[in-house]
Amino acid sequence: MKTIKRNGAEEVFDLYKIIAAVKKANESGEKTYLNDEQIIHIAEYVEYKCKKLSRAVSVEEIQDMVEDQIMATGAFDLAKRYVKYRYQRSLIRKANTTDNRILTLIEGNNEDVKQENSNKNPTINSVQRDYMAGEVSKDITRRLLLPAEIVEADQEGIIHFHDTDYFAQHMHNCDLVNLEDMLQNGTVISETRIEKPHSFSTACNIATQIIAQVASNQYGGQSISLSHLAPFVQISRKKIHAEVLEEMELLECSVTEEQVEKIVEKRLRKEINRGVQTIQYQVITLMTTNGQAPFLTVFMYLNEANNETEKKDLAMIIEETLKQRYQGVMNEAGIWVTPAFPKLIYVLEEDNITEGSDYYYLTELAAKCTTKRLVPDYISEKKMKEIKEGNCFPVMGCRSALSPWKEENGDYKFYGRFNQGVVTINLVDVALSSGANPDKFWSIFDERLELCYQALMVRHKRLKGTLSDAAPILWQHGALARLAKGETIDKLLYGGYSTISLGYAGLYECTKYMTGRSHTDPEATIFALEVMKYMNVACDRWKAETSIGFGIYGAPIESTTYKFAKCLQKRFGVVSGITDKSYITNSYHVHVTEEIDAFTKLKFEAQFQSLSTGGAVSYVEVPNMQNNIPAVLQVIRFIYDNIMYAELNTKSDCCQECGFDGEILLVTDQGKLVWECPKCGNRDQDKLNVARRTCGYIGTQFWNQGRTQEIKERVLHL
């Protein structure tokens, strides 16, 4: 069994440390209160309670348990001494807590940081540099930038104030890059003017430079559309056509126009291959200033093309993108593996969803790719248009979605817009705090929503007054705007141009505690929908009062699911079916252990997705489907007809030690979940390639114990 020290380092649970601490308090005055046998009994009972939690327990949690057990013996004066001892030690630690956390992460001993982001390798210098800066930002944020009540609520797991490791800077969350504007009208990168490219391959090269620059100036996900690259295929076609004619003339060859066209298209295909490869490999190999590859989403939407010729060219780009992703990338051991990024989203529409339609072959290829590499994910044009005022557009990063917004001339605009940030409410905590009393629940809910509003306004005010000079690529050179030097970004923060997100987590546990049933039970579903609508009403009210675009966001909470679970156990103990896991359920999702088929799950979750105005994604867990593509296509067709945004989760693993190409398993060792090759028993994470859908995006650098337990307990839906 493991314990987590205050600096984040992990060590083996030591019973004798508890005994020694209690003895020290017991013997610190003139009178002793407990004998050695009683003290040992306290320590053993605490050990028993820690084992029951089935996860690594923090030192603070252990000390709380010790305190409770001393009180249970009736030794109240001893408990006072123990509390005083803890307080004195905490004062000493407060002087250099940040220093200690930085030192432990540099030495690779900080388990909290090591497992915080499943796409960052904490042993690499650039990642450590980012984490060091993050620790300083967190410290400044908690001490100087946030009101005390928000800091306290965040620490207690009542809310989660996202991305405190970047909050000290004037940075926003995620965005839809206006790649079309930057390519068509030129941009500036590192004070160098970049003109409109004269070929598809050059456009792809410039796009990767833009992606890297954008990623280094914000902390969330960014999305680009392949449709913005499609016009450059025709430019390359004309260029290649002229070159072929010139070559034929030099060779004095007599060829027909049909022959010329065949040569041109063949060379064009090769250029598309090289261009797509540039995006895939450069994005994967780029290391941005935040210590990871850019969190990039690539949007593939045929109906975004401006004309039929461009649509066919876009189809070629999509086809090549899917083929290259299906192949994967080769790791240092020479094994083809699944990369985390770029994330791919494929739009289902009338001319690619039905067998025999013009672009159905692309959907078949997408299905094949999904079964092996977990992407693409799927957006239903039909369902999205129903929800988003007749529009279909990409999410930002893994799920964050904009609300429809019109320019002065009445045209909808999505590219060049962004999200200001997120604060997530812990719905499970609201329920448990109410004691299942309905009146008390709604009263506490109001209080917590008000707290979230205050926290969100702190985020908004942190961005207000930011000069465009802070990130020229974003604010001056077209990624998000074309503001003048020295101009503030303030006008982009109002009127719904950008959004700010009220995240939520644990709807399942909240509903179960309040109703005694899963939210999939029709009687309980009513309550769950009321909770969602209540948050929407609050956001609408805030928007009317401030002219800021608030939205409800099904927060991904990759590591926060573990934080919330630990906080709930600390405050409310282990409540069967509610707090007895090391994680809580993401957003509105059906609990990972609940037996439900794929079609019922997607249909059920669709009603909650439409109420998550700020973004959400649903998934179904499937076995290896590489030999059953027709079944995958059936699920895809169901997505098109029933839900706006969904994905299929499978496994994509391998062992570098023995070459095993199958599912790497989770086993328990001293109360901790570890990954193990079922063939050779290898547990070295540096020699295992494990790709899992974390919470909308793919993780490849492993996870904390809460998320790992959630992954282990997922049931199949097909």
Distance between CA 414 and CA 358 in Å, rounded?
Answer: 27
Q: Say how far apart CA 394 and CA 341 lie, in whole Å.
A: 16
Question: Contact at 8 Å (CB) between 241 and 266?
Answer: no
d(CA 331, CA 436): 51
Name the residue among 639, 697, 700, 707 with its Cα closest to residue 399: 697
Alpha-helical regions (H) of 337-468 = 350-353, 360-373, 381-387, 427-434, 438-463
Total residues belonging to the chain = 718
Determine the Cα–Cα distance for residues 543 and 499; give it in Å rounded to an integer. 10
309 backbone dihedrals φ, ψ, rounded to 5°: -60, -45
3 state SS for 426-461: EHHHHHHHHCCCHHHHHHHHHHHHHHHHHHHHHHHH
Identify residue 615 by its one-letter amino acid code.
Answer: G
Angle between helices 438-463 and 522-546 (to 10 degrees): 40
Burial 380-400 (b: 16+ CB within 10 A, else e): bbbbbeebbeeebbbbbbbbb
For residues 318 and 692, what is the distance between their CA atoms, to the nearest angstrom?
A: 24
Report in angstroms the alpha-carbon separations of 393 from 90, 346, 385, 461. 50, 11, 9, 28
Q: Which residues are catalytic?
A: 173-174, 396, 398, 400, 419, 553, 558, 696
Instruction: Give the Cα separation of 462 and 3 in Å (integer).
Output: 36
Question: What is the token pair recorded at 254?
Answer: 């007599």
Nearest to 506 by CA among 595, 426, 611, 596: 426
DSSP 8-state code for residue 329:
E
Q: Would you call 503 helix, strand, or coil by DSSP? A: strand
Three-state helix/strand/coil letters over 6-43: CCCEEEECCHHHHHHHHHHHHCCCCCCCCCHHHHHHHH
For residue 436, what are the CA distances in angstroms to 427, 527, 571?
12, 12, 16
How far apart (Å, rounded) are the C-alpha atoms in residues 296 and 344? Answer: 9
- What backbone phi and psi angles, to 5 degrees, belong to 187? -150, 180
Which neighbouring-strand residues pair with 618?
Answer: 646
Do 671 and 55 form a contact (C-beta atoms < 8 A)?
yes
**What span, in angstroms and rounded, lies between the C-alpha atoms of 244 and 259?**
10
Cβ(504)–Cβ(554) under 8 Å? yes
d(CA 36, CA 19): 9
Conformational region of residue 564, where left means phi above 0, alpha means psi within -120 to 50, and beta covers everything else: alpha
Pairing label, strands 159-161, 377-380: unpaired
Nearest residue to 449 via CA among 488, 467, 423: 423
